[in-house]
Amino acid sequence: MDGFRHVPRSACSGVLWPALTDDESARMLALQYQFEQTQWWPQEKLAEMQLQQFRSVFAHAVATVPYYRERFAPWRSGIESWERYRELPVSSRADVQQAGSDMHSSESPPAHGPLMKTESSGSTGRPLVTLGSAWTQMMWHALLLRDHLWQGRDLGGKLAAIRSFAEPGRAGNWGAATAAFTTGEAVVRGLSEDIDEQLRWLVQEDPEYLLAYATNMQALAARSLELSLRLPKLRQVRTYGEMLRPDARRIVREAWGVAIVDSYSSEELGNIALQCPQSGNYHVQAESLIVEVLDESGKPCPPGTIGQLFVTTLQNFSMPLIRYASGDFAEVAGPCACGRGLPALSRIIGRQRNMLVRSDGVRHWPSFPMQAWKDVAPVRQIQLVQDAIDHITVHVVMPRDFEGEEAQRLTAALQQCLRHPFRITLVRVNAIAAGAGGKYEDFVSLLVP
């Protein structure tokens, strides 16, 4: 890697290196300098500093946020320990939606900069409106820059991004998170465009890095393989916003010879966990959030088990979220082999509505390698909807009707994937609509509230 390309942009005449940057960039690099250290701290030290920072957020929340003033009245005296922290009542997405502006601080610190509103899609329809400040935003950008640095990206490369609701565009740089550096250009396309059109565009742009939703990325890679298209300059792809299918990494590797780096973020919480540069784990961004993974009885999950995520924002003083049930589930990892003390998740599982429930009480998050049906019929896309405890309706996009024994064989393949003899109804459809925000879900349960 060419280190000199990672020298920040100097704002001082005659000085190229070491760079003397503009003030905003200096602040960004001051955070990175701390991240370089804190990522290696032992978990106890991280936890100690998190609790210190949380006390500050908590005091602010109780004093200035109506929703918390009542809710946390019994804990007003302060949160002096993690035991005390875990007593605090949790809030669901619905609670937050219902509270509305009662969630807003009446005194967001002016030094945190102007407030900004974020509307998070929520695949189920009703959007969640959150409030953040320039400081909150800066922390998110700092974590994105951390991701670039962790993954050793060449910031001078061209970045192509396929985003929901985006108009085609072109910019001279990668954006605010990398403003301290001179970067290559960035090109953007909308998610709603046809895959073949997206591919034509990618071949033409020939980027070093590609950013897209996981399913979009996988579809692009699969289509590239079919058409034997290469992206010769591509060095790495970044996915976000959806769960990675188990075979996504393999297909992308086959198609383009590069690795996927996944990240776990949400519009209301920012970057929650970033893929470890050494292992495949996801590291919780402990400087920005407290993340708990709790079982059904509310107890912390040990490594290797799956639980629901509860998140507290540590840097949002305009609308603090405290023990907020994001709706996602994840599997807890043991200490990461990379040596970082940042807590690790081995898998992000998805939301509760992506959980399968069987009549024998077994629950799990099914996943579907594309290979499972591709060998059976010319299936382009598929979505399973569990509408009864023993029945699943399968929406299938394919260019023609089923022929011969294709329907029976597909049913059998799906039953094998689901590890249960569900009754299955196949329905051929022209398209499967993405949820709000352009996200796809392979499996949706209508049984889970």
What's the gap between Cα 381 and its chain centre? 22
CB of 340 to other proteins, least distance (A): 9
Assess 151 for contact with other proteins (CB under 8 A): no
Q: Phi and psi for 130 in degrees, rounded to 5?
A: -120, 155
For 98, the token pair is 């219902």
Assess 30 for contact with other proteins (CB under 8 A): yes
d(CA 160, CA 277): 21
Q: Phi and psi for 420 in degrees, rounded to 5?
A: -165, 140
Question: Across-strand partners of 120?
Answer: 128
d(CA 182, CA 67): 43
Stretch that binds other proteins, among 19-27, 290-298, 387-395, 427-435 (CB under 8 A): 19-27
Tell which one of 123, 178, 216, 315 touches other proteins (CB under 8 A). Answer: 315
Sequence-separated (6 or more) residues with CB below 8 Å from residue 98: none
When the beta carbons of 138 and 260 are compared against other proteins, the nearer one is: 138
3-state class (DSSP) for residue 277: coil
Stretch that binds other proteins, among 4-12, 220-228, 407-415, 433-441 (CB under 8 A): 4-12
Tell which one of 74, 339, 399, 449 touches other proteins (CB under 8 A). Answer: 339
CB of 346 to other proteins, least distance (A): 23
3-state class (DSSP) for residue 172: coil
Assess 20 for contact with other proteins (CB under 8 A): yes
Assess 2 for contact with other proteins (CB under 8 A): yes
Residue type, 22: D
- By CB under 8 A, the residues from 35 to 74 that bind other proteins are 35-41, 49-50, 52-53, 56-57, 60
d(CA 388, CA 51): 44
Binding letters toward other proteins, positions 211-250, x by CB under 8 A: ----------------------------------------
- Count interface residues toward other proteins (CB under 8 A): 51
CB of 111 to other proteins, least distance (A): 5
When the beta carbons of 18 and 74 are compared against other proteins, the nearer one is: 18
d(CA 72, CA 66): 10
Assess 381 for contact with other proteins (CB under 8 A): no
Q: Nearest to residue 39, comparing CAs of 337, 291, 285?
A: 285
When the beta carbons of 162 and 274 are compared against other proteins, the nearer one is: 274
- In the numeric block, the tokens 């294709």 are attached to 406
d(CA 449, CA 150): 38
Taking a C-beta distance cutoff of 8 angstroms, is the pair 221, 343 a contact? no
Assess 445 for contact with other proteins (CB under 8 A): no
Assess 278 for contact with other proteins (CB under 8 A): no
d(CA 330, CA 305): 8
Stretch that binds other proteins, among 34-42, 69-77, 164-172, 377-385 (CB under 8 A): 34-42
Binding letters toward other proteins, positions 91-110, x by CB under 8 A: ------------------x-
Strands 186-190 and 169-171: what pairing? antiparallel
Tell which one of 44, 73, 83, 111 touches other proteins (CB under 8 A). Answer: 111
Taking a C-beta distance cutoff of 8 angstroms, is the pair 301, 294 a contact? yes
| Interface residues toward other proteins, by CB under 8 A | 2-4, 6-8, 11-21, 23, 25-41, 49-50, 52-53, 56-57, 60, 109, 111-112, 135, 180, 287, 315, 317, 339
